[in-house]
Amino acid sequence: MSRMGYGMSESPALPPGDASHWYSPPRLWKKLRKIARFTGEKTLLTALTLFYCLRDPDTPAWAKTVILGALGYLIFPADLIPDVLPGVGYTDDWSALVAALGTVSVYIKNEHKEKAHDRVAKLLGPGDSPPPPEFS
């Protein structure tokens, strides 16, 4: 299968060294759970909207590459501004997500947004809830 033609449960083969190397659905869920209370609902909605657009077979390969880069950067442990810095730690992550969202916005569907809203409610819910199936 091609790099971007992976199925729902497979992870794409990514080149080492770029931020997309850090992407996987379980890593994304773990990171989103960790940052849920600090980054705010907009960051979570943006990341999850991109995630569901990534999983959509109608999204073209070039757009999936952009999304993988942004989500990988969010997960990447050594980014431009350390996430542990109060108030500014996630601004670079937010910028990467917004840039990706703007770049692929034509491929964002209402169903991506609706699923993202549903998952934000789960992220902000009890901390011991298991990840949804698409993040396993």
- What's the pTM value of the predicted model, to 2 decimals? 0.69
Residue 119 CB-half CA count within 13 A: 28
Give, in degrees to the nearest 5, the angle at Cα 17 between 45 and 55. 35
Contact between 41 and 120 (Cβ < 8 Å): yes
Span 56-84, pLDDT tens digits: 999 999 999 999 999 988 887 666 666 55
Ranges assigned E (strand) in the chain = none
Question: Has residue 120 got a pLDDT over 60?
Answer: yes
